[in-house]
Amino acid sequence: MQVSANKVVSINYTLTDNSGVVLDTSNGRGPLNYIQGIGALIPGMENGLEGKSTGDKFQIKVSPENGYGAYVSEMVQQVPMSAFGGQEVTVGMQFEAGSDEQRFIVTVTEINNDMVTVDGNHPLAGKELNFDVEVLEVREATAEELAHGHVHGPGGHHH
């Protein structure tokens, strides 16, 4: 069966950056199961998987535009330490920020005396992504899975 909209697809994948550093992998965690065509994966992955079949092994190169977006320097901000209400702040910590309409995660990237630099970009923003992919299984999604927008059973939701 081929990957197309409303199919449940099971894949193994390894994601590397352009210098070959592994950023993410399903190895040791089990396959990723998702529903094709509903925006569960970044556009570049769904496009690259469309039409592939069980057993196919291939590479997908994803541009930032089809991945996690361009790196937006305006999303890097300096915040006074006093804004954190006295809690200990360290580089690498993540906080939720934004308004009720749009919540996003910011990461502390630098601390300089009393100024804290926070970055609201996705960690993979602005990066070209290289996926090694193997398609393990393709099947029809059930009506219930489509209604819920996620995969049920092994490797998916249980409820």
Residues that bind Zn ion (CB under 5 A): 148, 157
> Least Å distance between CB 157 and Zn ion?
5
> Least Å distance between CB 31 and Zn ion?
18
Cβ-closest residue to Zn ion? 148
- Comparing CB distances to Zn ion, the nearer of 15 and 141 is 141
> Least Å distance between CB 142 and Zn ion?
10
- Comparing CB distances to Zn ion, the nearer of 4 and 148 is 148
- DSSP string computed for the chain: -B--TTEEEEEEEEEE-TT--EEEE-TTT--EEEETTTTSS-HHHHHHHTT-BTT-EEEEEE-GGGTT----GGGEEEEEGGGGTT----TT-EEEEE-SS-EEEEEEEEEETTEEEEE-S-TTTT--EEEEEEEEEEEEPPHHHHHHTS-BSTTSB--
> Least Å distance between CB 40 and Zn ion?
13
- Comparing CB distances to Zn ion, the nearer of 35 and 135 is 35
- Comparing CB distances to Zn ion, the nearer of 55 and 153 is 153
